[in-house]
Structure 1
Amino acid sequence: MHRSVGKHTGLTNHVERFNATLRNRLGRFTRKTLSFSKKKENHEAVLHIFLLKYNQDMKDKWGACQI
């Protein structure tokens, strides 16, 4: 579950790093892109699959889910 965080919590860099990871790994999240989803369902499905894979990779790497 995603939560908003204030600037003074010290968590902003983690949120921004994750946003950069999304833009880097998923073409449809980059700025000014030609890759896009025509249907909202497809966009959400790609994001869901990415989050599952990302969380599994983090769990394998660190032993706990990071998100």
Structure 2
Amino acid sequence: MSDHYCPHCDVAMEETTVTAEGVGDLYVKTKREKGVLKRLGIGDNTSLDAFLCPECGLTQFYADLST
């Protein structure tokens, strides 16, 4: 069951996939202020999870910023 609910329809949103015509996965740019990942240049992008409302079609993106 989804933890994401449509703010318009108040129904559970379904996980979906969003693509950009074969360009690849969508990412959000994040900043690493310090640590080994910053020195190695790793972790500047965070992938996005997409959720779609089955009623109205609203699509929302979520980034896991806990890492």
Instruction: Please classify the TM superposition score into its range, dividing by the shorter chain length.
Output: under 0.3
TM-score (normalised: structure 2): 0.21
Which structure's residues are more often helix, by fraction? 1
Which structure's residues are more often strand, by fraction? 2
